[in-house]
Amino acid sequence: MLQAVISSKAGRFPVANGEESVSWRKAFRISEDLLTASVFGRLAYLDDEVLWRIMRRTFGAPLPDLRVAELEDIAFWPKWSDAIEDDGKVEPDVFLDFKLGDPATPVRLIVEAKLWKYPSQAARQWAREWVAYHDANGDDGHAVFLCAIGGLGGKIDVTVERIAAEVSALGHEIKVAAAGWDNLLDALEEERLKPMPRATTRIIDDVVAALGLADYQHLKLPGAMARNARPWNPSASAALRDFK
């Protein structure tokens, strides 16, 4: 589907009462769910060590800087019982279950993704997801992080500090790691410079293409660009251009 959207072969789909239609390319630009599925669905195909290295490079501390990694499971939009709002459900965007290091230590990431760059992450949503996880799992000894990507504005640290304080005022202390989608793009570009199997480059190129469709792209002067060990594939190259 991603390649069809990039190549303008996905067509259009009806909206409203079927009297209007919108292109899949435009839908991609305004749907955080499409972006989340396209990005994290493909990242999950990477070797586990590569995936964790990209996650650590994207979110930085407090995620542990370990080389040995195994992805035990990944779930998209899991439905958890909401312990804050009665009879409700809460759906984090992605839930990743890792074992890291040797000996292995469980580390779990609750990912809450927002499409836009302006501040749109919310304290109550963080609290609901955090409490829902712990209500279901108790004190299982696993290291758990709420990983917020996107929706943090230009001053990520300031936004995170504010939201964390609001969560604390609600009576919950959480471990947060936060980044913009552009931080993920930086991490992918850095990883892409390493020698790697061709299958890995194709996966990374697809993720870059997905980010490009959502207008997350880096425009650099040719003289400022590092030389890639292998050229970007056509889909990723197209993502670095402005889509109309």
Measure the CA–CA gap between 146 and 95, rounded to whole angstroms.
10
Measure the CA–CA gap between 65 and 125, rounded to whole angstroms.
27
244 pLDDT exceeds 60? no
* Mean pLDDT of the residues in the chain: 86
Domains of the chain: which residue ranges?
45-210
Measure the CA–CA gap between 137 and 106, rounded to whole angstroms.
13
CATH code of 45-210, in short, is: 3.40.1350
241 pLDDT exceeds 60? no
Q: What percentage of the chain has pLDDT greater than the value 90? A: 66
Q: How many CB atoms lie within 10 A of CB 122?
A: 16
pLDDT in tens, 189-220: 999 999 999 999 999 999 999 999 888 886 54
Q: What percentage of the chain has pLDDT greater than the value 70? A: 83
Higher pLDDT, 9 or 198: 198
For 55, phi then psi, to 5°, come to: -60, -45
Q: 65 in helix, strand or coil?
A: coil
Measure the CA–CA gap between 115 and 158, rounded to whole angstroms.
19
State the pTM of this model: 0.85
Higher pLDDT, 85 or 161: 161
